[in-house]
Amino acid sequence: MKARAKQDAAPVALSREITFAQAINEALAEEMRRDPRVFVIGEDVGEAGTPFKVLSGLIQEFGPERVIDSPISEAGITGLGVGAAMTGMRPVVDIMFGDFLTLTMDQVVNQAAKIHYMSGGKLKVPMVVRTTLGATRRSAAQHSQSLHALFSHVPGLKVALPSTPYDAKGLLKTAVRDDNPVIFFEDKMMYQLKGPVPEEEYTIPFGVADIKRPGTDITIVATSSMVQVALAAAEKLAGERISAEIIDVRTTAPLDKETLIESAKKTGRAMVVDEGYERYGVTAEIASVIADSAFYYLDAPVKRIGAMHVPVPFSPALEDLTVPTPETVVEAAKTLCGRI
Amino acid sequence: MKRSTKPKPKTGAPASATLGPEKLLRFYRQMVKIRLFEEQVNQLYTSAKMPGLAHLYIGQEAVAVGICEALRPDDYITSTHRGHGHCLAKGASADRMFAELLGKASGYCRGKGGSMHIADQDTGNLGANAIVGGSAGIATGAALSAKMRRSEQVSVCFFGEGALGQGLLYESMNMASLWKLPVIYVCENNLYNEYTHYRETTAGEFTTRAEAFGIPSESIDGQDIELVHTAALRLVERARQGKGPAFLTCNTYRFHGHHVGDIDRSYYRSKKEEEEWKNKRDPIELLAGRLVARKLVDTKALKELEEEGRREIEAGVAYALSAPYPDPGEVDQHVYT
Ligand SMILES: Cc1ncc(C[n+]2csc(CCOP(=O)(O)OP(=O)(O)O)c2C)c(N)n1
């Protein structure tokens, strides 16, 4: 059986609290100190420290040679990242909004993802693409998408989706050390989220799900900020005497199937919550994994909750309808448990 | 990184002779309308009445107005995240724009687009765009369509100098030149890609980029509306006659932050630089000065024009504030036709 998060970290008191943004910043700073091959490239990553201020201070410590302010050229910087990674560097490419990943598609999907395989294992692309996902910031259709399913679909790519400051730091350090291209998604609405992060060095392995809250009646599998939504839902469900087990997959590629299946077998009911679209999405994949292996243990079909199948609308009156909320998760969980 | 950049206007011969007083007064009114509109946006945003992001056009008004006044109502424009000025200059009305900015059902896009996505087919506005350089293909495609339909329409692609980093622009310009498409690429160089000076992101010269494709390319003072308009008239006419695309760099400045929340700007540009542009290179003041100097109007009349504009803008805001939000049922409409 695979290790769980509780065992990942050294058993130290998690007394220190930092934000998700600080966790990202620390992970990069530590990796850049550890390994001179690691560098950051992206738009306004230098003095500005990105529009979200996530990288503030890095240029002061590492200088403009390792924190490179680029032109607004997403395809270009990703391409340069691939080439640099193939020849001995370890680039961390900053794509400001996940929506702009579409501009990098050839370099990520046709180049980075396939180079190791096409070269018969000779070449490798140890590159991280850091980017964002998530709606409800009133940023409209081209600045709000959650496109992680597109990348989880492609062999050769790894995809990480941290849900807490602790996971963000540990997973990003692992991403930087991984010899494969990793697409690292941060929900921009979580940058100010605070959580315990030890001072000591730690990493979190890919492909190891984390049980964020144990439970017995229903398994709720979630990703990224939807883990926070699921946790809030679990709290409400507890009030109705439904014990929900919340599982954070942490990486969709690789996916820790074992933990999901075990939990579903235990509780007999499962649902999946993700901010991407349901159709052909992460929820579909995870539901099928659970259905395949836990079918005889399930009391009901696996329920999926994703974003509404629409481009993200600007109007607050509409946007809030398009994403999963604790309320929608609670309703679905109650239905699944036969409480409605 | 901070660097001091003095405004270096390229002053050509004033084209006053060709532009009559009526036209100049209309320019004044239009520029003032944009200025007042944006001041309201600033107000709405800082008082938490407007959601999302707001990129103000203040300081760049002469570009949008100078260009759009050279266009027919059925000519096309594509715009950017900093698009309110283009939208108004092409003829959109302030009230429905405000409604869109507030996410209301009577907005130009039923509240679905917001500030960065206003489109208004009736005035030829194919849309603002939140992807830098994202409209280069659209504008060029509209020009291809105009040519195929023999409609004699012209298409104008507005973009900031940051878009020079995007490959799509170069692919599009190549085709526009090959096929002599009626498209004008208007590069508004306001010196900064967000928080970085363009010199740190842009190698070589602007003009030579288009020239490499055989596209005539000019760089002008974008604060001087007479210069902008005269250049636009010439290039638009040329395009309409089937003589192909052009590239016009308008050197300008955004007086405010990259977006409304960009308050501390000292790490990328100096107060002194901002003051110099605001005090010496304000396109509205420049035109006002000329109108008065040429005795076409007195300051009192200008003040009245401003008040007229203010009333329109205030009525527009009031309309938008009291307008209803879209019905929840609209959320999944318009995904497909
Ligand atoms: C493809 C893409 N990359 C990055 C961004 C984020 N972004 C928004 S505006 C901007 C700077 C644009 O500068 P410029 O084109 O000069 O226009 P300005 O803001 O100066 O009007 C950036 C990088 C974006 N919207 N689209």
Contact between residue B81 and residue B128 where contact means Cβ atoms under 8 Å apart: yes
Confidence of residue A15 (pLDDT cuts 50, 70, 90): confident
Alpha-carbon span B63 to A21, nearest angstrom: 39
Give the pLDDT band of residue A13 (cuts 50, 70, 90): low
Ligand 1, atom 18, lies closest to the CA of B160
State the pTM of this model: 0.94
Residue A63 pLDDT level (bands cut at 50, 70, 90):
very high
Q: What is the ipTM of this complex?
A: 0.92
Q: What is the pLDDT of residues A198-238, one digit of tens each?
A: 999 999 999 999 999 999 999 999 999 999 999 999 999 99
For residue A73, which residues of chain B lie inside 8 Å, CB to CB?
A: 165-167
**A139 interface with B at CB cutoff 8 Å:** yes
> How close are the terminal C-alpha atoms of chain A, in Å?
36
Q: What are the average pLDDT values for consecutive 10-residue runs of chain B, which has 337 residues?
A: 49 57 97 98 97 97 98 98 98 98 98 98 98 98 98 98 98 98 98 97 97 98 98 98 98 98 96 98 98 96 97 98 98 97
Residue A220 pairs with which residues in a beta bridge?
A: A246, A271
Contact A310 B335 (CB under 8 A): yes
Query: What pLDDT is stored for residue B18 in this prediction?
Result: 67
- CB A318 to CB B194 under 8 A? no
User: How confident is the model over A156-176, as a mean pLDDT?
Assistant: 98
Q: Given this model, what pLDDT does residue B9 score?
A: 47
Residues of chain A with Cβ-Cβ distance to B111 below 8 Å are 313-315, 317-318
Domains of chain A by residue range: 14-198, 210-336
Q: Report the candidate in A1, A14, A5 with the shortest Cα–Cα distance to residue A251.
A: A5
What is the CATH number assigned to the segment(s) A14-198?
3.40.50.970
Q: Is B111 left (phi over 0), alpha (psi -120 to 50) or beta?
A: left
Query: What is A258-282 written as a DSSP string?
Result: HHHHHHHHHHS-EEEEEEEESTTSH
Asked if residue A2 has pLDDT above 50, the reply is no
Ligand 1 center–CA B162 separation, angstroms: 6
Over residues A129-153, mean pLDDT: 98
- Confidence check: pLDDT of A322 > 60: yes
- A132: exposed, middle or buried (Cβ count in 10 Å: 0-12, 13-18, 19+): buried
- Return the structure tokens found at A292: 């395949």
Interchain proximity B201–A51, CB inside 8 Å: no
Q: Which residues of B217-246 are buried (b: 16+ CB within 10 A; e: fewer)?
A: bbbbbbbbbbbbbbbbbbbbebbeeeebbb
Query: A158, A151 in Cβ contact below 8 A?
Result: no
Instruction: Suggest the residue from B1, B82, B192 to mutate for an interface test with chain A (most A CBs closer than 10 A).
Output: B1
Query: What is the predicted pLDDT for the residue at A95?
Result: 98
Full 3-state SS string of B156-211: EEEEEHHHHHCHHHHHHHHHHHHCCCCEEEEEEECCEECCEEHHHCCCCCHHHHHH
Query: B132 in ligand 1 pocket by Cβ < 6 Å?
Result: yes
Instruction: Answer whether B209's CB lies under 8 Å from B272's CB.
Output: no
Q: What pLDDT does A340 receive?
A: 76
Q: Answer whether A43 touches B (CB < 8 Å).
A: yes
Q: Is the CB of A100 under 6 A from ligand 1?
A: yes
- CATH fit for domain A210-336, picks 3.40.50.920, 1.10.260.40, 1.10.287.470, 3.30.300.30: 3.40.50.920
A63 in contact with B, Cβ within 8 Å: no
CA distance B172 to chain A (A): 15
Pick from B131, B132, B267: which is nearest to A47 by CB?
B267
In this prediction, residue A14 has a pLDDT band, given cuts at 50, 70 and 90, of low
pLDDT for A238-261, tens place per residue? Answer: 999 999 999 999 999 999 999 999
B163 Cα–ligand 1 center, Å: 7
DSSP A297: G
Are the C-beta atoms of B35 and B61 separated by less than 8 Å?
Answer: yes
Res A283: pLDDT: 98
Mean pLDDT of A35-61: 97
Domain B21-324 has CATH 3.40.50.970: yes
pLDDT of residue A293: 97
Q: List residues in chain B touching A: CB distance below 8 A.
A: 1-2, 51-53, 103-104, 109-117, 129-134, 162-167, 193-196, 200-202, 267-268, 325-326, 328, 330-332, 335
Distance of CA A156 to the CA centre of its chain: 17
Which of B117, B193, B331 should we substitute to test contact with A (largest number of A Cβ atoms within 10 Å)? Answer: B331
Domain spans of chain B, in order of start:
21-324
Q: List CB contacts (< 8 A) between B117 and chain A.
A: 140-142, 314
- How many CA atoms lie less than 13 Å away from A5 in the CB half-sphere? 21
